[in-house]
Amino acid sequence: TPSNTMAVRSLGLDQLSEFDPAKKVIEYQFSPQAPLMSMTAKRFVDEVSSDSPAPGGGSVAALSGALGAALAAMVANLTVGKKGYEESFARMDELSREAQAVKDSLCRCVDDDTSAFNALMETMRLPKKTPEQIEARDAAIQDGYKRAIDVPMGAAKLCMRALELSREAAEKGNKNSASDAGVAALAAWTGVEGALMNVLINLKEVKDESYKSGMRAAVEGLRKEAATVRDSVMATMAASLEG
């Protein structure tokens, strides 16, 4: 990328030979072997803060959505069995179950996003000494970028569902947990936006114009939908938290 190129030149890393970050930067070669979601929260946060490019924004976006879904489930669970919410018991029970499933899927996306990035880096290391090798490498790189797009797009859709569930929890759930429903919605919305940013940054490298056009339209549609739901929840929050 342009920023990487500038960094390489400013540090003089390309003066003796061509500088390939995938080969030269030690953090690129030593990504965490254990699943990210098996780490303690402290270790995960430390890993994100390191020089290694993964886990990065895609994994963090998925985790944000997972936390939003988890909070939506919590609000639903705190509604079931509470006096005054009898008419909502059945739906809140269903909502909790669905939110738990969305949460679990997004937790898998945390690792899938990093795996897709690492797989893409591996394609960059493919040999390119002959025309045949160059053609095969280029095709593999294009496939790698599409995989690096598919994962966050799937995560964005899951985060969108978490956002919708958060809205319902805010509207029908235990009012004593209104702030939790609001945080759930904001975390889920962050997940949508963050995942879509990762779609777009990888989409720049794809050569298939038809694919790019369709994906851009899908991104724009999800963004508008997410903003509408977010604004609806914030309006509900304003009413719930007054006084």
Per-residue pLDDT of 206-229, as tens digits, reads 999 999 999 999 999 999 999 999
Residue 180 has pLDDT above 50, yes or no: yes
Taken in order 43, 48, 49, 51, is the CA torsion positive or negative? positive
Nearest C-alpha neighbor of 121 from the set 149, 136, 134, 140: 140
How would residue 242 be classed by pLDDT, with cut points 50, 70 and 90? Answer: confident
Predicted local confidence at residue 54, as pLDDT? 85
User: pLDDT, tens digit, for every residue of 3-40?
Assistant: 444 333 333 344 444 544 444 443 334 444 559 999 99
Q: What is the DSSP letter of 55?
A: S
Could you give the C-alpha distances from 230 to 97, 178, 207, in angstroms and in order?
A: 22, 14, 34
- The neighbour count for residue 140, using CB atoms within 10 Å, is 16
Distance, in Å, from the CA atom of 184 to the CA atom of 174, rounded to the nearest integer, reads 14
How would residue 126 be classed by pLDDT, with cut points 50, 70 and 90? Answer: very high
Taken in order 8, 116, 185, 47, is the CA torsion positive or negative? negative
Residue 179 has pLDDT above 50, yes or no: yes
Mean pLDDT of 108-117: 95
Distance, in Å, from the CA atom of 159 to the CA atom of 163, rounded to the nearest integer, reads 6
pLDDT, the chain, mean: 88
Helix axes 57-77, 41-49, angle to 10 degrees: 150
Residue 243 has pLDDT above 70, yes or no: no
User: pLDDT, tens digit, for every residue of 42-69?
Assistant: 999 999 999 988 899 999 999 999 999 9
pTM: 0.84
Predicted local confidence at residue 202, as pLDDT? 96
Burial of 212 (0-12, 13-18, 19+ CB in 10 A): middle
Percent over 90 (pLDDT), the chain: 83
Tokens matching residue 154: 């799937």
User: pLDDT, tens digit, for every residue of 94-111?
Assistant: 999 999 999 999 999 999
Tokens matching residue 215: 């994906």
Tokens matching residue 31: 């990504």
Helix axes 131-172, 57-77, angle to 10 degrees: 20
